[in-house]
Chain A
Amino acid sequence: MSEIETIETEALRAIDGAGDLQALDAVRVAELGKKGRVSGLMKTLGQMSPEQRQDMGPKLNALKNRVADAVEARKAVLEDAALEAQLATEKLDLTLPPRPEPVGALHPVMQVFEEIAAIFGDMGFTVAEGPDIEDDWHNFTALNFPEGHPARETHDTFFMETPEGGDPKVLRTHTSPVQIRTMMTEKPPIRIIAPGRVYRNDWDATHTPMFHQVEGLVIEKDIHMGHLKGCLIDFVKAFFEVDEVEARFRPHFFPFTEPSAEMDVKYTKKGETIEIGAGDRWMEILGSGMVHPNVLRNCGINPDEYQGFAFGMGVDRLAMLKYGMPDLRPYFEADAVWTRHYGFRPWLMPSISGGLS
């Protein structure tokens, strides 16, 4: 056996026998290191004659490559084994709970405000606002409630303490004063909705002293009651996310509209669930009408030139109907359990294209 073959046999055996990376490295140094055996043989090439070199060169290079490859191969095996051994010590109990992160939720009535804004926004309405503490003129007189008229008493108004000589203020009993504020500051054409808090002195199973309304107002030149009907039917379909809604309009009385109408929709009650749109019963959902000419005049708008309609609806009740909350009272109790159950996740942004809910 030649020396080359002997060295190769021994080297490969030592490589195979190396139990860990350290031992392998010792073998590598002993064979391929500066003072190693293979390196030693390689150095002899320089002293050889050209003929010898031509013969031995390829053989020695082949030896060096085979040993080096064997070292690499073994290294990969040992590294793998080492990693496995390390991983075996790194086991975590992933049944343990993650770090606590509180889960938030949005209040249904605020969500429903946004749904309503999305629907009317698509019909070209913008959102207007007005103050909760109103004067008598905006809340009643400008809206054609005659002073001392019994129609005012039906509103169960909250009054503010009035300082000597001051204007008596009320908490607005409806969002309709925003109609007045809008018409006083903007010129037609007008299409607004006015969501907000309203107040009435009444507290029982179905009334709370504070609740939410959305007012709507459209003032243009050619708007008639057919538009009122069309607009509100379109709204109800979009809001309840149904294709068809059977609706009826009934005459009613509101001082600030003439003619006035209440809107009823058909519904079915299946157990505790209410389905809006069709069925065997009627439910009143809002009040509406053509803006009274006196109201237009009070705001400096000529009723012979401009006309339009207004409507108002109770948002808390709409939310109850759509999402099945059985009771109005927990709305304002900041009850965490209720909010987690009936609330909405923050990523739900109501839109016409993406769906309301």
Chain B
Amino acid sequence: MKFPLSWLKDYLDTDASLDELLGFMLKAGLEVEEVINPAEDLKAFTVCKVKAAEPHPDADKLRVCTVDTVDGEKQIVCGAPNARAGMTAIYAPLGAYIPGLDFSLDKKPRKIRGVESQGMMCSTKELNAGEDHDGIADLDDAIKLGTPAAEALGLDDPVIDFEVTPNRPDWLGVKGIARDLAAAGAGTFIDDPVRKVAGSYDCPITIELDDPEACPVFAGALIRGVENGPSPEWLQARLKAVGITPKSLLVDVTNYISIDRARPLHAYDAAKLAGAIRARLGKDSEHCDALDGKTYQVNSEMCVIADDSGVIGLGGVMGGESTAVSDTTTDVFIESAWFDPLRTARTGRTTGIISDARYRFERGVDPASCVEGVHLALRLITEYGGGAASKVSVAGEAPRRTEPVEFFKRDVARLTGLEIKPAAMKKTLKALGFNIEDTGETWLLKVPSWRFDVEQSADIVEEIARLEGYDALPTTSLPNPGGKRLVATQIQDRVRTARRALAARGFLETVTWSFMPKAFAEQFGGGADVLTVSNPVASELNQMRPSILGNLAMAAQRGVDHGERELRLFEAGPIYLGDGPKDQRSVIAALVRPHQPRHWSGVGGYDVYAAKADLFAVLDAIGQPPARFQVDAPKQPHWHPGQAASLKLGPKVTIAHFGALHPRVLKTLKVDGPLYGFELNLNAVPQMKAKPNKTKPVLEKADLTPIRRDFAFVVDEDTAAGDIVKAAHGADKALVSAVDVFDVYQGQGIEPGSKSIAIEVTLQPRGESLKDADIEAISEKIVAAVAKSTGGVLRG
């Protein structure tokens, strides 16, 4: 909402400077976005008097002027054809920035064709203050020397633009702004009630209201014999200042009143009206040819204005083309009605029409302003366009709020910590237009008709606190709650640890969209319609992701395209398995786009087993020994069927997948492979039970040296090494403390279809040392266990 300062002063008697007024706006909650102050740009310029203007000795078109200025007498060389002795002009001192030319004068006098010039005289165009360019500004001689140029040009009226919050539609009128600023202490509110226009005849146009919920009140009046010429200059200037192009008296007056008092009106060419005017609900078969030149489909939800010809306007949103006023209009009917905010908002959304009327009606227009609005329009139109006004006709009744709001005085201190005397509270509330019935601790407040945001005591507290000023609030640190601090949940703690484990292992953390393209999501087992965004910001961001890996894969490709070689990326974030509140998972995904390093010592590259190591490192970091999980076939479609696996806890719970991404997925995503990684579902990882204390378990350290023995088994080539390890472990759970695979061999000496797997078994004796016979016995048990489980035989 924009308004010029001079307009505000119609309703606010104040000595406050512009800066002080901006301070009051801030204090009251009117958030200023911009102050357009032409005077700021014109500060350097003042009015001067030209004493003499002689021809330049060396140039026909130049004159050498002697000028009286605020800086004393100056010699100024001027090229303007209209420069003459006795002229009142605008003086720019040396060094001044000329806004219309976008350059600054030299700080020292400059010679122009050999004659020194000590300043400049400006045209209004050079000051960005007009279009005339016949020469320099030629001002009224009555204007005194030294008068600021802004004042001399009538540009000393700053325009303030501020944000109107949705709760305060009364700020959409200059008068409403003035009322709040007066209550904030900026000056005295000038109520200036509209003087009624006594009509000379009854309004001949009948107003009928078919739906009192949609349009409960409609005031109107006719003016006969109007001349719809241009509106007066002062009115045009005000409209221009707020960004509205003046059109004609009738249109300008309705726009003016909309800004002045937040009271939208509509003017109809009475000659084009057919029969009674009627506010009713629309019919699905109807349409409206609106003032913006477009035709809108009407529906039964909309409140329309109709006459015998059909729909002639969308109530509170936009008038119709067929009954619009024009230059030739002589009889005008003024509508001042009240339309239900929610219905107006729905009509606005359905039609997509954005208008000043809609903006005001959907936020709430003062229902008590209907009649006043018509009178103001009648006054302005008859004053500037002549004609004879009818009496004002009112159909229906303005909705009125009768229930008072109960205000508890103590709530001010209770909710804000401010101690404010009741008298001061009363003063503020009265200034805002509240009517107070003081019943002791509780006041019964009658809410002014222009306020829609006041329902209960807390709302009154806000009025009192904001107008007292939030600077007055105490500053009180929160009392320390003491006791134990359980700041984060276990999953949050695990995210924190896992992120650090991965970053320490060379991964870069990313935060990618929660979205991905639907077609890609389908590759990752997602793509359900309930997870599709119906109004995506871009078509590639239209599906909630079922996995983070796709986004990481695309990011890796972008990185490689920009010259990265190996990229290790991870993200800790949400994935979405459904649209319910419990369908979101907190996962950690890591993805590596490998690049065989070239190093003089010849080191190996990143592969599936490196991904497994990274996953296990994360599990270890979050207190989950990797050995407790089982490796199984992948359960998700986006993994390479032979080079990826799931990690399970028992038969039902899958906590992670790791390995190589499926080549088909890479193809769909247009990403080069191979890509290795993992995705760990933190919600599936067992939660650790909170222990009553922080003591660690007693250390059990074996005194005896462990014994290590190697075994090599020949097994079928499809046998999983993990099964051999598991069998060896199981041979004697007390004694076997570790089993490590250190060699896998196929080739000479091993029959085709078989392989040799070598393991090192660590035996940890406890209490008694092992004798040769004991070791022999356990070795046999291991060989037997492996044979039973996998059919493996000890390699000879």
Contact = CB atoms under 8 A, between A and B. Distances in A.
A178 to B, nearest CB: 11
Contacts of A234: 477-478
Given A123-B478, A127-B492, A230-B476, A224 B415 contact: yes
B462 A346 contact: no
Interface stretch (B288-296, B526-534, B720-728): B526-534
A201 to B, nearest CB: 5
Contacts of B201: none
B445 to A, nearest CB: 15
Which of B345, B514, B552 gathers the greatest number of chain A CB atoms within 10 Å?
B514
A129 B489 contact: yes
Contacts of A231: 477-478
Nearest to A104: B503
A130 interface: yes
B552 A334 contact: yes
Interface of B: 26-29, 31, 165-168, 342, 345-346, 362-363, 413-418, 453, 456-459, 461-462, 465-466, 470-471, 473-478, 480-482, 485-489, 492, 496, 499-515, 529-538, 541, 544, 551-552, 555, 558-559, 562, 564, 566-569, 571-574, 576, 579-584, 597, 599-601, 603
> What are the 7 A-B residue pairs with the smallest beta carbon separation, nearest first?
A102-B506, A251-B29, A334-B555, A253-B165, A226-B417, A226-B474, A124-B481
Contacts of B533: 158-161, 171
A227 B506 CA distance: 43
A343 interface: yes
A103 B507 CA distance: 7
A163 B508 contact: no
Given A133-B576, A158-B533, A229-B475, A307 B459 contact: no
Interface in A1-36: none
Nearest to A169: B579
A150 B166 contact: yes
Given A132-B514, A229-B474, A307-B415, A252 B555 contact: no
Given A100-B599, A104-B502, A159 B534 contact: yes
Interface stretch (A50-58, A63-71, A257-265): A257-265
A179 to B, nearest CB: 15
A231 B416 CA distance: 14
B475 A100 contact: no
Interface in A325-344: 331-337, 339-340, 343
B535 A227 contact: no
B541 to A, nearest CB: 6
A209 interface: yes
Interface of A: 96-97, 99-107, 109-110, 114, 117-118, 121-127, 129-134, 147-151, 154, 158-163, 166, 169, 171, 181, 189, 191, 197, 199, 201-203, 209-210, 218, 223-227, 229-231, 233-234, 248-253, 255, 258-262, 290, 292-293, 303, 307, 331-337, 339-340, 343, 345-347, 349
B415 A334 contact: no
Contacts of B515: 209-210
B28 A251 contact: yes
Given A127-B492, A133-B579, A258-B462, A209 B541 contact: yes
A118 B541 CA distance: 33
Given A102-B566, A117-B488, A150 B345 contact: yes
A229 B533 CA distance: 38
Given A99-B603, A104-B509, A132-B576, A229 B537 contact: no
A201 B534 CA distance: 11
Contacts of A96: 600
Contact of B473 (A197, A210, A226, A307): A226
23 contacts: A101-B506, A102-B507, A105-B503, A109-B511, A110-B572, A117-B487, A121-B488, A169-B530, A210-B513, A225-B415, A225-B465, A230-B478, A249-B470, A253-B29, A255-B167, A259-B416, A293-B456, A334-B555, A334-B569, A336-B564, A336-B567, A339-B509, A347-B500
Given A258-B459, A259-B465, A290-B415, A131 B473 contact: no
Contacts of A133: 531, 544, 576, 579-581, 583-584
B488 A233 contact: no
Contacts of A197: 514, 573-574
A133 to B, nearest CB: 5
B535 A159 contact: yes
Given A226-B476, A229-B474, 6 more contacts: A104-B509, A160-B544, A197-B573, A253-B165, A332-B512, A337-B562
Contacts of B600: 96-97
B503 A130 contact: no
A149 B345 CA distance: 8
A332 B486 CA distance: 30
Contacts of B562: 337
Given A104-B508, A130-B581, A233-B475, A345 B503 contact: yes
A124 B458 contact: no
Which of B470, B507, B529, B564 gathers the greatest number of chain A CB atoms within 10 Å?
B470
A126 B486 contact: yes
Nearest to A202: B537
A332 B470 contact: no
A226 B558 CA distance: 50
A133 B466 CA distance: 35
Contacts of B362: 150
